Amino acid sequence: MTDASPQPASAKALLPLALFLVLFLGTGLYFQSEGVEYAFYQLPSPVAILPAIVLGILLSKQAFEERIETFVGGVGDNNIITMCLIYLLAGAFSTVAEATGGVDAMVALGLNIIPPSFLLPGLFIIAGVISTAMGTSMGTLAALAPVVLGIGEATDISLPLLAGVLVSGAMFGDNLSIISDTTIAATRTQGCTMRDKFRANLKIAIPAAIFTVIWLITYDTSQVPLEIPEANLWLSLPYFAIIVLAVMGLNVFAVLGLGIVLAAAFGMFTVDYEWVAFSQDIYEGFGSMQEIFLLSLLIGGLSALIRQQGGLAFLAAFVESAANKVSKHKQRASAIGVAALTALTNFCVANNTVSILLAGEVSKRLAKVGNLAPRQSASLLDIFACVVQGALPYGAQALLMGASFKISPLSVSLHTGYCFILAAVAIAIIIWRRPLEDREPTPESA
């Protein structure tokens, strides 16, 4: 039987990945040219990856049984399975909390706090907090769009600006949230805790958010009337609870499990939320994660085939070589490589979670070679995936806001100031931070 050990680095082994990207991107561009809404989501990604898996199996030099074993072994990888279970719990929490009125409570709480003169920065912060709590930029935008559209129609504030502010805040929260699928994918592929990744992210995201707020303050909105929707503000507490528990370092399964119970309990005591509805919403939440759940499993299997055939070794060496030409410091070069690889992948697939899954293993190899801490590579993965996703005119966020506000998705993308500021801050930190090899070694940096 053929030796199952990894083969030497080979560019040919990357052909299945290229096929997946061509199918996914090509189909999206075609539907985009035809004027179809959500063009890049017409071909489900778990279906688009199937021909790539078949090609990966055909290219393998192993015996056929061993090829299947390699693929199934990748599907059943511990990190992949753990990631998928977290997806299910995150989906359940989001659905239960929304069904009990938690999203309306978060919106009402935010609008109760912000004054009209602080409207745009306030909307950015509200979107950020809700997205951090919900773990989904799309859910946040869907919840806030009707409220903000009403504000735009009642005033002379630019609709593209309002839409861009919402996308900016949603991407800020999506990047930081511990229950976001991007965070789950980034931490599991890099092998770090969510708390460590969260702390590393804060050092980049908070300065970018501050610059964004300063930029938004320059707009005068003091005369804008605000209509605050009615909601039970107590229902927002489960969202804050999971943020606090996660930052305290509680295991993510415990955090999400407690979040689901708290959301249901508050709903039962305040809005007569019933047990039957609770069980149905949990299952609905599981279903909402079906696409990313299946794609994660299939990408795990495809990655195992590509790894065995030497494709990931080739890609890691290529990206490392290119990054080393930009910087002579290994750690800085690795950071540049992770950022560039993630941004390019997201530009192709228009999905930040998919791009992290695709770039995750190569990024981990780059981080190891360059002595880049797992929390830092996870942070860079998530940051640059969110940067590109928020700025893409054919990304789901811009398409949703364009459809909701009846404006061009491109005009939405051009006003997502936070995404551009976040990219600038992250690049500046990568360039100007003194590389680890220039410092005295410490236990933390080891």
Instruction: Output the tens digit of pLDDT for each of the chain's 446 residues.
Output: 344 566 777 888 889 988 987 887 788 788 878 888 767 678 888 898 899 999 999 999 899 999 999 999 988 877 678 768 877 887 888 788 888 887 778 777 766 777 777 888 988 998 898 888 777 787 778 767 767 776 777 667 788 899 999 999 999 998 888 878 888 889 988 888 888 888 889 999 999 999 999 999 988 766 666 666 666 778 878 877 876 776 676 776 887 888 899 989 988 988 888 999 999 999 998 988 788 788 878 888 888 888 888 877 777 677 767 766 766 677 888 888 889 888 887 776 667 887 788 788 888 888 888 888 899 999 999 999 989 888 887 677 887 788 778 787 778 888 999 999 999 999 999 888 765 444 444 344 43
pLDDT of the residue at 299: 81
* CA separation for the pair 78, 441 (Å, rounded): 32
Q: Are 297 and 75 in contact (CB under 8 A)?
A: yes
Task: Report the distance separating Cα 113 and Cα 164, nearest Å.
Answer: 21
DSSP letters along 293-331, please?
A: HHHHHHHHHHHHHHHHTTHHHHHHHHHHHHHHHH-SSHH
Gap between the Cα atoms of 285 and 94, Å rounded: 7
The pLDDT of residue 427: 92
**Rounded to whole angstroms, how far apart are CA atoms 154 and 404?**
16
Structure tokens at 423: 């990219």
Please state, in angstroms and rounded to a whole number, the distance separating the CA atoms of residues 236 and 105: 5
pLDDT score of 229: 62
Q: Please state the pTM of the whole predicted model.
A: 0.69
Q: Which amino acid is at 60?
A: S
**CA pair distance 36, 266, nearest whole angstrom:** 41
Per the rule left: phi > 0, alpha: psi between -120 and 50, beta: everything else, 43 is: beta
The span from the first CA to the last CA of the chain, in angstroms, equals 41
Q: What is the largest CA-CA distance in the chain?
A: 77
How far apart, in whole angstroms, are the C-alpha atoms of residue 188 and residue 174? Answer: 16
How many angstroms separate the CA atoms of 239 and 262, rounded?
A: 9
Residue 212 in contact with residue 417, Cβ under 8 Å?
A: yes
Is 227 exposed, middle or buried, given 0-12, 13-18 or 19+ CB atoms closer than 10 A?
Answer: exposed
Is there a contact between 59 and 13 (Cβ–Cβ < 8 Å)? yes
Q: Please, are residues 163 and 401 in contact by the beta-carbon 8 Å criterion?
A: yes
- pLDDT given at position 225: 60
Residue 180 is encoded by which pair of tokens?
A: 């976001």
3-state SS string for 253-296: HHHHHHHHHHHHHHHHHHCCCCHHHHHHHHHHHHHHCHHHHHHH
* Among candidate residues 349, 350, 256, 276, the one with its CA nearest the CA of residue 21: 349
φ, ψ of residue 114 to 5 degrees: the values are -80, 135
Q: At what angle do helices 64-75 and 290-308 cross, to 10 degrees?
A: 130
- Which residues are CB-neighbours of 200 under 8 A, at least 6 positions away? 373, 375, 376, 378, 379
